[in-house]
């Protein structure tokens, strides 16, 4: 695995990616942040050695390098999901590569279903903690000690300081960020009413199909991270309406501008 990570990182360094400080992952329907970047380089995932290829058509699958103010940033537009058939190691491979390239912090975003009845469509929620219900773990298998420890600590997977920066950035943009627990499922189907009830009982506030594998790997490598969910549908088991993915993308699109403002403000303060 190390040689593949280094090959991808070397390739990217040779294209001009030079010591980015902050990595950003943009979730489903969340692409406006790109407009805030002074772009220096755009590289398609399909051109990067050993990168999985994005298969979901609305994911553009691009790595974008540039600056926000003085900060060098590396943005993943589109991510890999277990439901596409990738292994947990493939899903998290880009995080390993970004770390080798130099990033010190990782900001993640995702579209999520709101399980907490107080969370409404279009709201932004800071992920305070998570529950991993995906089948598999990106750290399973022989541990690579150069990358991180066999049994990484998970007592605070989301960095306190980064969280505070995001909360303050939200206030500056006239938004109050609520906090919640994100549960990650494999998907690709949305949940049944009984599953939403179960997820609420076990302590989840929102549900999605991403983020947790990436955060596990970031913690393995001691990369500080913070994440925001955009609530795209309300998962009230007693009043559940059919949801389709185009609606999820549409709601994400409406929250996209404010998310990109929060990320932009935060990055300048990291
Ligand atoms: N369930 C799982 N993933 C999701 C949902 C949901 O309700 N909404 C957006 N991503």
- pLDDT tens, residue by residue, 195-237: 999 999 999 999 999 999 999 999 999 999 999 999 999 999 9
Give the distance (Å) from ligand 1 centre to CA of residue 54: 19
What's the whole-number mean pLDDT along residues 172-200? 97
Residue that has been written with the tokens 């805030």 in this structure: 36
Give the distance (Å) from ligand 1 centre to CA of residue 164: 26
| Predicted structure pTM score | 0.95
Burial call 62-85: b when 16+ CB within 10 Å, e when fewer: bbbbbebeebbbbbbbbbbbbbbe
Q: What is the pLDDT of residue 244?
A: 81
Q: List for the chain the helix, strand, coil content (%; round to 5).
A: 35, 25, 40
Strands 38-44 and 124-132: unpaired
Mutate to test the pocket of ligand 1, among 28, 81, 233, 236 (most ligand atoms within 8 A of CB): 233
Q: Is the beta carbon of 127 within 6 A of some atom in ligand 1?
A: no
Q: What is the pLDDT of residue 220?
A: 98
Among the ranges given (123-127, 133-137, 241-245), the one the predictor scored with the smallest mean pLDDT? 241-245
**What is the rounded CA–CA span in Å between residue 132 and residue 211?**
10
Q: Is the pLDDT of residue 58 over 60?
A: no
Among the ranges given (133-142, 194-203, 218-227, 243-252), the one the predictor scored with the smallest mean pLDDT? 243-252
Q: What is the pLDDT of residue 56?
A: 56
Per DSSP (E only), the strands in the chain are 22-26, 38-44, 62-68, 71-77, 105-114, 124-132, 178-184, 206-208, 224-234
Q: Is the beta carbon of 232 within 6 A of some atom in ligand 1?
A: yes
What's the whole-number mean pLDDT along residues 136-155? 96
Give the distance (Å) from ligand 1 centre to CA of residue 212: 14
Total number of residues shown for the chain: 270
């Amino acid at each position: 695995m190390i040689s593949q990570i280094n090959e991808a990182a070397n390739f990217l360094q040779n294209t001009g990616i030079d010591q980015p400080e902050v990595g950003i992952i943009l979730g489903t329907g969340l692409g406006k942040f790109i407009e805030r970047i002074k772009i220096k380089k755009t590289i398609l995932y399909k051109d990067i050695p050993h990168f999985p290829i994005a298969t979901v058509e609305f994911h553009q699958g691009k790595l974008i390098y540039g600056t926000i103010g003085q900060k060098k940033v590396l943005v993943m537009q589109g991510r890999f999901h277990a439901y596409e058939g990738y292994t947990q190691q493939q899903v998290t491979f880009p995080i390993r590569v970004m770390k080798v390239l130099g990033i010190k912090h990782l900001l993640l975003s995702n579209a999520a279903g709101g399980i907490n009845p107080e969370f409404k469509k279009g709201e932004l929620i800071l992920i305070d903690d998570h529950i991993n219900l995906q089948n598999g773990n990106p750290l399973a298998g022989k541990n690579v000690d150069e990358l991180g420890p066999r049994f990484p600590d998970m007592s605070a997977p989301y960095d306190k300081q980064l969280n505070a920066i995001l909360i303050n950035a939200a206030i500056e943009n006239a938004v109050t960020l609520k906090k919640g627990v994100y549960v990650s499922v494999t998907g690709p189907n949305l949940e049944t009413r009984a599953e939403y009830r179960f997820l609420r009982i076990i302590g989840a506030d929102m549900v999605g199909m991403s983020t947790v594998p990436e955060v596990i790997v970031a913690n393995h490598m001691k990369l500080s991270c913070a994440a925001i969910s955009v609530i795209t549908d309300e998962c009230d088991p007693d009043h559940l309406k059919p949801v389709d993915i185009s609606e999820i993308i549409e709601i994400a699109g409406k929250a996209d501008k404010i998310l990109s403002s929060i990320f932009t403000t935060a990055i300048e303060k990291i």
